[in-house]
Structure 1
Amino acid sequence: MRIHSTFTKALAVSAVALMSLTACGGSDSGDADSSAGGNELGLVQPGTLTICSDVPYPPFEFEKDGDYTGFDIDLMRAISDSMGLELAVQDVGFDGLQSGVVLASGQCDVGASAMTITEDRKEHLGFTDGYYDSEQSLLVPKDSDIKSIEDLAGKTVGVQQGTTGENYTRENVPSDTEVKAYPSDAELFPALKSKGVDAVLQDLPVNLGHQEDGQYVIVEKYKTDEQYGFAVNKEGSEALLKELDAKLAELKDNGKYQEIYDKYFSTK
């Protein structure tokens, strides 16, 4: 999967470079409307909404049967469909997303990766209206003596680097807790399984997917008033941001948002 991702990223960089050269040549594509994939929305690739996401991070983004899926991906696919655009997904690291680097470099149009809207991030990113309310949670093996965040004293807890979960952990664990940061959930949960860490503190929906029929349990949840938003460039993406908000509202009005939400979070 990482070999595939590296290859995909290389293609994306080449494509961006090629499009930059073409743009310098005086393309007339800017006269086309958004449904035809023109540049009114400042798209990286005309006719395509290109999103960057840190995969895997189930249930928000992951690979299944050779394709990308998940709550974020399905929402963005519904949005792109309603805009008359194809959808392309680039797998990138979360640090590059939350810092705005991959957007500023022209690798993608939108960051869609369970990204919490924060004041710090709003300084260098534009965010859509919130589309998901989240909580943090503490996951441990079922036979662990850790029952609360206070029990992490003298223990090791794993987090995903660059996330609000990491910030919450460092601000709230006992002073003698060792906090280990991992690039993504793909390394974080295996660290718990291999006993590299004693617990994992991260977004509740992700930990819910790691319970493995009771082998791991969530011992605490933390309300942090977090909302996820889709991210765009702070400057130059105003038209795209307006369109994304309009389409997101449309999905909520016509029931499509709820349909996608129930697919991943229904308790039935």
Structure 2
Amino acid sequence: MQRRNLIAGIALAATATLALAGCAGGSGGSDGAADNEFDLVEAGTLTICSDIPFAPFEFEGGDNGTGYTGFDIDLLDAVAKKLDLKLAVQDVGFEALQSGTTLASGTCDVGASAMTITEEREKNIDFSDPYYESLQSLLVRTDSGITSIDDLEGKNVGVQQGTTGEAYANENATGAEIVQYPSDGELWPAMQSGLIDAILQDQPVNLEHEKADKAYKIVEEYETGESYGFAFAKGEKDALLEAVNGALKELQDSGDYQTIYDNYFTAK
């Protein structure tokens, strides 16, 4: 009896061990930890962080299952498909994202938020190859009397905190009061309510506001030599960074990048 109980106990233990092993690898495919070649936050899913809204680069809507769309989102959706991954999007603050804090915490795999590649940011972030060239611009009310950055003395100029637009305003808007906002989601309503006299930020975003309301216009654009890149935790996502760069190149070579670009930036 004791010997039979011992044998039964061994058999049960072996069965439990096999069951546990089966659970560990039972999901199969890219969902298994062993198959997570890019060290993703969630195996099988490319999780991106973005400060939303910042149209036309990221805003609510779309049909990709994430609840968000825009040039950045659509481009990374195409990248994810190239890598046989699903896409997930998290809305986060830009300041923590551009400083590298959000990425270092492991919240997401990629930062996609119309982020300019700068030497300062490269101290804390690894960037993909550039995927978009941008300008800065000045948006004002059509009846404001403001025709250039030289007319901003004594005016309240809205900028997004931590951006190259803020840096440009600080360096060039002599005599203006620079007012920081966390995102365009606060900048635009502040402009409409008269709290600020102008917005200095990326040209495509101001262009969206100009299109939406003819009471506002872009009076100047500034060549700053800016290029956007997708952001990664410093020194931690080398395989993913290489794969994303490869997918971007394929999309550019195939013409798919141009199709996505034209959807947002070509007049129809």
State the TM-score, normalized to the length of structure 2. Answer: 0.86
Show the 5 A alignment for 1:18-167. Answer: 38-64=35-61, 67-167=67-167
Residue of structure 2 equivalent to 1:5: none
| Residue-by-residue CA offset, 1:105-132 (whole Å, 9 max, x unaligned) | 1100000000000001011100001000
Residue of structure 2 equivalent to 1:188: 187
TM-superposed deviation, 1:39: 2.4
**Residue type at the aligned position of 1:78:** A
CA distance in structure 2 between the aligned counterparts of 1:75 and 1:162, rounded to whole angstroms: 24
Gaps of at least 5 residues in structure 1 are: 1-26
Runs of 4+ with deviation above 2 angstroms: 31-39
User: Which of 109-118 and 35-44 deviates more?
Assistant: 35-44
Residue of structure 2 equivalent to 1:9: none
Q: Larger radius of gyration, structure 1 or 2?
A: 2
| Residue-by-residue CA offset, 1:80-109 (whole Å, 9 max, x unaligned) | 011110000000000111011111111000
CA distance in structure 2 between the aligned counterparts of 1:164 and 1:32, rounded to whole angstroms: 42
Q: Please state whether the residue corresponding to 2:154 is helix, strand or coil.
A: coil
Q: Please state whether the residue corresponding to 1:40 is helix, strand or coil.
A: coil
| Residue-by-residue CA offset, 1:172-231 (whole Å, 9 max, x unaligned) | 011x21000000000001111000000000000000000134210000000000000000
Identity over aligned residues, as a percent? Answer: 58
CA distance in structure 2 between the aligned counterparts of 1:38 and 1:102, rounded to whole angstroms: 25
Q: Contact 1:51 / 1:89 at 8 angstroms: preserved in 2?
A: yes
| Residue-by-residue CA offset, 1:137-193 (whole Å, 9 max, x unaligned) | 00001111110001001111000000000001001011x210000000000011110
TM-superposed deviation, 1:33: 6.5
CA distance in structure 2 between the aligned counterparts of 1:230 and 1:34, rounded to whole angstroms: 24
Q: Contact 2:30 / 2:44 at 8 angstroms: preserved in 1?
A: no
State the TM-score, normalized to the length of structure 1. Answer: 0.86
How many correspondences in the alignment? 240
**Residue type at the aligned position of 1:119:** E
Residue of structure 1 equivalent to 2:266: 266
